[in-house]
Amino acid sequence: MAGRKALILAGTGMLARVAQVLTHEGWHVVLPSRRYHPLDCEVRPGAAARRSMRPPGHRPYHPATLRPWGGGKAIWVEAHWDRPRELAAKAELALRGPADLLVAWIHEQYRRSVMGAVEPLLAEDAPVVEVRGGLSGTGTVEPPDPLLPLHPTQVVQLGTVSAYDAHRSLAQDEIAEGVLDAVRRALNGHASSTHQVGQLRPLVR
């Protein structure tokens, strides 16, 4: 996967684990969001100097070529869902080429406009992983509605409680693992499909 590009659209830090895994595997990951969220895989200021402090004879990395983990990197750009064209323009500059994967967890109010704005940034065969909220106003699961039909889409349908404990809210770790599973399916060339993460809380009547 080294050298490939991914665009992750989500609220600040909501899919940080997914970004970390992809970066670790050598991906160039772009993360537009309203606020900056540090990732464990990032090279922080001063890291180059610290890494260069080695025994005599050690050749330090040049800062321009320094990469975290497995050679990938994560780039955050400030962006707002209600400015989709501006978001897409900033993401395009940071990607420096077509994205090979799109992972999106966007509020329903902005979903169509943002997804439409970034579609031209995707490579022709790029798969999409779309995370959707669990319940409609009637307490039923909404049918999946992938917005980019030209791209195979793995829909991650979120429940409201943990799959392991109906008395506990769906945890961030469970969501991250479910999305990563969908990313694997997408990259393995699976056809569009929907998979639920967590379970629905029974309605109280």
pLDDT, tens digit, for every residue of 45-96? 444 333 334 444 433 323 222 244 457 899 999 999 999 999 999 999 999 9
Number of structural domains the chain divides into: 2
Question: What predicted TM-score, i.e. pTM, was given to this entire model?
Answer: 0.78
Residue 80 to residue 31: CA distance in whole angstroms = 12
**Per-residue pLDDT reduced to its tens digit, 112-128:** 999 999 999 999 999 99
Q: Are residue 106 and residue 196 in the same domain, yes or no? A: no
Residues 69 and 107 in one domain: yes
Residue 138 in this model has a pLDDT that exceeds 90: no
Looking only at the bridges linking them, the beta strands covering 28-33 and 101-104 are unpaired
165 in the same domain as 103: no
Q: Per-residue pLDDT averaged across 105-112, rounded?
A: 93
132 and 117, same domain (yes or no): no
Tell me how far apart the alpha carbons of residues 76 and 205 are, in angstroms, rounded to a whole number: 45
Q: What mean pLDDT is reported for the chain?
A: 80
* Alpha-carbon span 205 to 203, nearest angstrom: 6
What pLDDT is recorded for position 164?
Answer: 74
The residue out of 126, 141, 171 marking a domain boundary is 126
pLDDT of residue 70: 56
- Range(s) of the domain holding residue 55: 1-126
**One domain, residues 32 and 117:** yes
Residue closest to 122 by CA, chosen among 163, 164, 150: 150
